[in-house]
Amino acid sequence: MAAFKTFGRPVLAWLTVALFLIFGSDWMAHLNQHTLGIGLFAWLFVMIVWTAFGVVHEAEELAIRLGEPFGTLILTLSIVIIEVALISAVMLGGADTATLARDTMFAVLMIVLNGVVGLGLLIGGIRHHEQTYNLQGASAYLAVIIPLATIALVLPNFTTSTSDGSLTSVQAVSFSLLTMALYGLFLWLQTGRHKGYFVSPKSTAPNEAEPPPPAQPKMPASELMRRIALLLVYLLPIVILSKSLAKVLDYGIDATGAPPALGGIIIAMLVFTPEGISALISIRGDQLTRAINLCLGAAASTVGLTVPAVLAIGLFTGQSVVLGLPPASIVLLAATLILSALTFSGWRTTMLEGAVHLSMFVVFLVLTFSP
């Protein structure tokens, strides 16, 4: 059973890759057969999510040995690789995907900051009444997320060089370098000087002896390389299968007349489901700091790394990349960022914050289908 958990998942994932490499072209040519299209989408969606759980498992194994914040950092970066691969596959597919990156980043922010955080704080409040976390870490995340999200998703609507929410080449290069520099500085501080901001705070109860943290055995170099190799074994099939999923997704949205933003929501759900479940499990176990690292870390890395990637694709391929959000989405994003700053401005959270975040998530879903 243990062997199947270790090797069964990647074997099935790579078997799926082989089948799509052999028969994928013929299957894609018959997507107008609705049963086939639905079946292929379900197959690819389930397989990618299931394989992504393998990524989460390997990242958590590394986290146990390497400690925080390295574990959640490895996980969030792995998830962003999947996200960029999916967006790139759709953009390079030749369809009109000018707003896909924008829709995906906005959906990730809404799902993470309102959906998962809201549900998590509600569950944590019901189970633990109040939960503590490392305020300095949450504040550091928000200090990065707010300017990155504003530069990427709001500012393009207010520049005068373009009128459609896109960026000029000079703006794209400048903003990409600025985004990468800011996120790189944050990573340097997160893993170095201010690493203590991203670990659970120590108990401050009077006369309470603080138990020493359990010493973790140092991971041998061979074990570290094996875990990294397994991480790549899980990541590569997702990247390869993303091209096929992109074609099925694009055809399905066109055929059903669904709102274009639905594609971004599906990609966001696809890449963040395993990480979101891991965050909810952490909250249920009263590990709110780890859950915040997962959620806010995903939001920061999504904007910090996806924007330069998609702008680079746009510059090299000549495709238009529209990043500016429509007015209603800008209002919702601003309200979400302000609400997140208020939620993580104290040392404890309650059910109330969770309920408010969930209400914002419902508004996001309503506006997607009825803008």
User: What amino acid is encoded at 320 in this protein?
Assistant: S
Quote the pTM value.
0.83
Other C-beta atoms closer than 10 Å to the C-beta of 8 total: 12
Residue 209: its pLDDT value, please?
Answer: 43
Taking phi first (over 0 means left), then psi (-120 to 50 degrees means alpha), and beta for anything else, what does residue 129 get? left
**Quick one: pLDDT at residue 5?**
55
* pLDDT score, position 69: 65
The rounded distance, in Å, linking the Cα atoms of 353 and 125 is 9
Residue 279: per-residue pLDDT: 85
Q: Are 302 and 105 within 8 A, CB to CB?
A: yes
Q: What is the pLDDT of residue 359?
A: 95
**350 contacts 121 by C-beta, under 8 angstroms:** yes
Position 228 scores a pLDDT of: 77
CATH superfamily of 2-202+220-369: NCX, central ion-binding region (1.20.1420.30)
| Distance from C-alpha of 209 to C-alpha of 357, rounded to nearest angstrom | 36
**In angstroms, what CA-CA distances link 341 with 27, 336, 369?**
47, 9, 28
Q: Whole-angstrom Cα distance, residue 102 to residue 354?
A: 26
Q: What is the pLDDT of residue 338?
A: 95
28: Cβ contacts below 8 Å, ≥ 6 apart: 244, 247, 248
Q: What is the token pair recorded at 127?
A: 């189970």
pLDDT at 48: 84
Q: Can you tell me whether residue 322 is helix, strand or coil?
A: strand
Which pLDDT value is given to residue 142?
92
Per-residue pLDDT of the chain (371 residues; tens, 9 = 90+): 444 555 677 788 889 989 988 888 888 888 877 788 888 888 888 888 888 888 777 777 776 676 666 766 777 777 777 778 777 777 776 566 778 888 888 998 999 999 999 999 998 888 888 888 888 888 999 999 999 999 999 999 998 888 888 899 999 999 999 998 998 888 888 877 777 878 877 644 444 444 444 545 556 667 777 777 887 888 888 878 877 887 788 788 777 777 878 888 888 888 788 778 888 888 888 888 888 888 888 888 888 888 888 888 888 888 888 999 999 999 999 999 999 999 988 878 888 889 999 999 999 999 988 88
3-state helix vs strand vs coil in the chain, percent to 5:
80, 0, 20
In terms of C-beta density within 10 A (0-12 exposed, 13-18 middle, 19 or more buried), how is residue 329 classed? buried
DSSP string covering 204-217, please? --TT---PPPPPPP
What 18-27 contacts at long range (C-beta under 8 Å, 24+ apart), as own/partner pairs, is: 20/240, 20/241, 20/244, 21/240, 24/244
The pLDDT, as a whole number, for residue 212 is 46
